[in-house]
Amino acid sequence: SQTIHQWPATLVQPVGSPLSLECTVEGTSNPNLYWYRQAAGRGLQLLFYSVGIGQISSEVPQNLSASRPQDRQFILSSKKLLLSDSGFYLCASGQGARTEAFFGQGTRLTVV
């Protein structure tokens, strides 16, 4: 089965600082990759998804961006963090919306 590596597990960043979260996938090839954000006690908000190298679809306009430089690598970035960017960021991998999605361990980001 797939394994999703996501780091760091926790991160505290000041407002206005940059962000880079990395996700790598093992055990599969040509996966669809996803970034979700979960505010405290809330649901899963889809931020970006990618169906291939260099292909990024944005779901929510905001100060975040995503890149997929390799087949099994997905990166979430920001040039300047806002307080509202705080949350639990989850990377996920799947083989289409009609199969199981596998989630990484998540990164808990606190912007101060």
Q: Which residues bind other proteins (CB under 8 A)?
A: 32, 34, 41-44, 46, 49, 51, 57, 59, 90, 94, 96-101, 103-106, 108
Q: How far is the CB of 40 from other proteins (least distance, A)?
A: 11
Q: How far is the CB of 90 from other proteins (least distance, A)?
A: 6
29 vs 99, which CB is nearer to other proteins?
99
Q: How far is the CB of 39 from other proteins (least distance, A)?
A: 11
Q: Positive or negative CA dihedral for 29, 30, 31, 33?
A: positive
